[in-house]
Amino acid sequence: MRHRLACLLLLPLLILSAVAAGAADNPRRPFADDVVYFLVTDRFANGDPANDRGGLIGGPAQHGFDPADIGMFQGGDLKGLTARLDYIAGLGATAIWITPPVVNKVVQQYEGGMSAGYHGYWATDFLNVDPHSGSNADFRAFVDAAHARGLKVIMDIVVNHTADIIQYQECRGAGNACPYRSQGDYPGAAYIPVLPSGQQGVKNPAWLNDVRHYHNRGDSSFKGESSLLGDFARLDDLRTEDPVVAEGLIKIYKHWIGTYRIDGLRLDTAKHVNPDFWHRFVPEITTFAQEQGIADFTIFGEVADRNIADLAAQTHLTRLPSVLDFGFFQAAIDTLADGQGSYVWENWLRADILYPDTLNRATLPTFISNHDNGRLAYFIRRTHPQMPADEVQARVMLGHALMFLGRGVPVLYYGDEQGFIGLGDDKQARQPMFATASQQFNTEPRLGPHPVAGGDSFNPAHPLYRATAELAAIRRDHPGLRRGEMVIRHVEEKGGLLAFSRIDRVGGREYLVLVNMDNTPRTLGVPVEASMARWQGVRGACPVEGSAPSAIRVTVPGLDYLVCMRPLA
């Protein structure tokens, strides 16, 4: 009996060992060498219609599924994503960043309507996969299949808040005594927190159900201390300075790393969390991942600020190893959509000095579109509603060129490679890649061979898909374009011609990149590193001989880019 019991106790461990032994190893590759593909799981591919309602009964208000409504679940899931991994790999991506896979509050009622937790940022159960996306086993199968193709998996996480469960009783203190004063057992609370009937144990792990672990100050004004302590649009703000909360959150994400062997984390709303939490979380999580044999574990945060000085200041406070480059995003809009001179890019690069010396600038993720702010194509169309579609497409392609050839790690937002435009930001920019019942998503314009949306959008022959795959191949084949020092060679106050070098001291090469954001061809004499070596074209027609040892004369077609290369010696 004792022997049989021992065998039963060992069985789960043996199964886990067998699964781990059969799984592909985590890709060994520095983050600076990656190309990231970011997607909203619910909007990417529907592999199993049986989970569209998450196993819940009733109508959309109960199960959240309504493909006619852009704010509700559309049906994308982990099985669908796994089936489309070759499509992502074919684009040249080496890492996939997915929205939080955890169980969410299904539907949130708002003034004038309701919206679903399809995006993953309204967590209730932090330890399990949302049934709308599939099962824990589906998540494991996805990670294993990605690793088998050499693709990393970066998981979006939220530590700032949970779903909106806690409700408040208005404080009744005299005069101004209430705001931000102790309310009995609720330190610093402005309101007395109340859990609605039937919601007392909805969160997992169980400690998340204790209202003392939240700030309970009402909605944030996003100014001063309220930026750290207030609820983000009604979402319950965790007291991350509480040791119980900090320890609990670290255990949660150690669980995801240890169980599924993910390769990195994207930290949502990082600037709204007290810096001391990140000072502990980042080193503990990094050390744990390394102990699991994940040597190249990646962490980058969202500091949603387009002012580079403010963005960089947050990195000093939080000590995050990397943050999303919102300054790059703004520079792309300024030049490619709003027509400002190419000098904007010099200002962007010069501001790198504001980041801490401990932050590797080569790992700052750059992007031109995302799920919160919208797509570059939308910003171009907003400024130039009558611009021909082929010009909008060319400008989006130049945005990709700046991402792939400039400093940083390029982050592709799903659908950009299929000509998605969208009608705005947030949920307006979260179109499904598959057929949908939404009239808006089915009729909004797109770029490329199918100018109106509808049906599946996984076309590897799309011009933007091919252009992106070409850029990914160039970046893959030339390490200097991933890690070389970026030096601005030419900018203009009003014109759109930009020239910069990537200096690869290790490989002994200089790459000259010229991006023409004007409609007409431009010819330029560009200063470069001193060398008598001949130039060769990496992409486009580059002159063989320089006009002088420290200069090259180049013509760049309108709305196009060139990449030239020569040895430094």
Nearest to 427 by CA among 411, 436, 418, 440: 440
Peptide bond before 205: cis, by omega within 30 degrees of 0?
A: yes
* Catalytic residue list contains 560: no
Residue 1 CB neighbours (<10 A): 5
CA distances, 472 to each of 61, 190, 332, 481, 529 (Å): 43, 51, 19, 10, 25
> What pLDDT does 110 receive?
86
Token output for 55:
């196993």
**Amino acid at site 207:** W
Q: What is the CA radius of gyration of the chain?
A: 25
**Amino acid at site 554:** V
Choose, from 42, 69, 138, 302, the residue flagged as catalytic: 302
Write the DSSP string, 516-551: E-SSS-EEEEEE-----PPPEEEES---SS-SBTTE
> What pLDDT does 450 receive?
81
What whole-number distance in Å separates Cα of residue 482 and Cα of residue 311? 23
* Catalytic residue list contains 268: yes
> What pLDDT does 157 receive?
98
Backbone conformation region of residue 139, classed left if phi is above 0, alpha if psi is from -120 to 50, else beta: alpha
> What pLDDT does 5 receive?
37
Choose, from 34, 69, 237, 268, the residue flagged as catalytic: 268
Tell me the average confidence (pLDDT) per consecutive run of 10 residues in the chain, 569 residues long.
40 39 83 98 98 98 97 98 98 98 95 93 98 98 98 98 92 49 60 91 98 92 91 96 98 98 98 98 98 97 97 96 98 98 98 96 97 98 97 98 98 98 97 95 92 85 98 98 97 97 96 98 93 92 82 95 93
